[in-house]
Amino acid sequence: MFRGLLKPYKGLPKEVYIIFIARIVNALGCFVMPLLTLILTEKVGLSKEAAGLYISAAGFLYMPASMLGGKLADSFGRKNLIVICSFLGAALYIVCGMLGPSMVMVSVLMLAGAFMAMADPANVSLLADLTTPENRNGAYSLIYMGWNIGFAVGPVLGGMLFQNHLSLVFIGDAATALLALSLVVFFVKDTLHRTREEIGDEGRRWERREEGSIFSVLFKRPILLYFAFIIFGYNFTYAQWAFLLPMQAVRDFGAAGARYFGLVAAFNGLIVMIFTPVLTRMTVRLKNIRRMVLSGIFYAVGFGLLGVVESLPLIFVCAFIFTIGEIVLSISAIPFLVNHTPASHRGRMNALIPTIMGLGYTLGPLGMGQMLRYVTMATGWLLAAGLTLVCVLLMYGLEKYDDRHSAEDFVLTAEKPADQTAL
């Protein structure tokens, strides 16, 4: 059985395993982002509404940064962009640690996030260049699991440092990011040249190079836009995991709230570490889009229950449920996107579509921050769950759309040689 769980991770390119190790190292020092809401409210002194506004403003800043990063990834190269932007982001984290809590620190923190956002499309595209549809799900699953192996420890350490050693939260995050980056510098080569190779496999026809702008490519693939807007809804709900839940923890558990939230975040990482290979193996025969229908159901149940539970043990139960949904979505969404994207446009598509999807994370804190002026936290969770259920129905409809158009495309492809012979 154990060998069966490891099967999707065997025989991958060696660079994938290096990136896997780098993600573990990086996540071990992931202190800042899980604690961002508490840094803004408890340390800088912002209100809940103002904190939501600043987090959303940072998200809007990441959008043009990601788009620029996608364009540069397709022209300047994947590795070069990752190294430069990740180094600058880590350096600015160190500056934040030296500044201490202030609005100046918030501005520098937002700029650091923008540089990291610029590197994201290159990271996704690098992995896409190294893989094929046959091993891509396993590769992205492995990288996702690597991040969460480190994340099972990182937030716990961050939670312990938060109260009395905030500067170490930033400096420790930067140090592990630089250590992870060094692995990429020394052991991973750039892959941009691979996007110029011809793809003869008919099963990969959506990955063949194309000329024209990203918008002309999207015009031929509207399913990617439909997909992006549905995942936007999923992400709006998931954003409350880092925005609404820590505030609820502080409200219910006082000074221990930050530590308890860190424990829940660590539990989230632990569940991902244990169940990612299990769920990858269990869902191997399901299409990526069907997996995403199932993930939305887990989101709706897990996050919705947070509106009615009060005890810490039941919060852990909710975290288990929505983490299952997170795993299934994470091992399915990016492979679906990459499998429908021309190699020539991977950087730009891996910027544009995740930007639309990521607007859910961006608007989640802003929207919920405003809603909390009129509703309770419990009602906020229930509203988020309701939105997710609507998105589940839309994703199911998209699956039917994909089945219909894939069948039509297969018929047209099969008939094309006969038509040419007739001419």
The 3 state secondary structure assigned to 229-287 is HHHHHHHHHHCHHHHHHHHHHHHHHHHHHHHHHHHHHHHHHHHHHHHHHHHHHHCCCCC
The whole-number pLDDT of residue 202 equals 63
**Is residue 6 domain-resident?**
no
Q: Give me the domain span that covers residue 51.
A: 15-191+213-418
The whole-number pLDDT of residue 201 equals 67
Q: What is d(CA 118, CA 60) in angstroms, rounded to the nearest whole number?
A: 13
pLDDT in tens, the chain (423 residues): 566 778 889 899 999 999 999 999 999 988 888 788 888 888 888 887 788 788 878 877 888 999 999 999 998 899 999 999 999 999 999 999 998 888 999 899 999 999 999 999 999 999 999 998 888 989 999 998 888 788 778 877 888 888 788 889 999 999 999 999 999 999 999 998 888 877 766 667 778 788 888 888 888 889 999 999 999 999 999 999 888 898 888 888 887 887 888 888 878 878 888 898 999 989 888 889 999 999 999 999 999 999 998 889 999 999 999 999 999 999 999 999 998 899 889 999 999 998 899 889 878 888 888 898 898 899 999 999 999 999 999 999 999 988 776 655 544 444 444 443 332
**Is residue 3 domain-resident?**
no
Number of folded domains that form the chain: 1
Residues 32, 169 contacting (CB under 8 angstroms): yes
Domain of 355, CATH number, reads 1.20.1250.20
**Is residue 198 domain-resident?**
no
Residues 237, 364 contacting (CB under 8 angstroms): yes
Residues 125, 198 contacting (CB under 8 angstroms): no
Place of tokens 């709230």: 257
The whole-number pLDDT of residue 3 equals 67
**Is residue 277 domain-resident?**
yes
Q: What is d(CA 16, CA 111) in angstroms, rounded to the nearest whole number?
A: 29
Residues 138, 9 contacting (CB under 8 angstroms): yes
Residues 21, 342 contacting (CB under 8 angstroms): no
The whole-number pLDDT of residue 392 equals 97
Q: What is d(CA 322, CA 275) in angstroms, rounded to the nearest whole number?
A: 13
**Is residue 74 domain-resident?**
yes
Q: Give the closest residue to 11 by CA, choosing from 139, 146, 190, 183.
A: 139
The whole-number pLDDT of residue 2 equals 60
pTM (two decimals): 0.81
Q: Give the closest residue to 188 by CA, choosing from 107, 126, 101.
A: 126
**Is residue 4 domain-resident?**
no
Give the dihedral of Cα atoms 28, 354, 388, 265; nearest 10 deg: 10
The whole-number pLDDT of residue 417 equals 47
**Is residue 202 domain-resident?**
no
CA triple 388-125-134, angle to 5 deg:
80
The whole-number pLDDT of residue 421 equals 35
Residues 374, 248 contacting (CB under 8 angstroms): no
- What sign does the CA torsion over 126, 131, 133, 139 have? negative
Q: What is the DSSP string of 146-174?
A: HHHHHHTTHHHHHHHHHTT-HHHHHHHHH
**Is residue 9 domain-resident?**
no
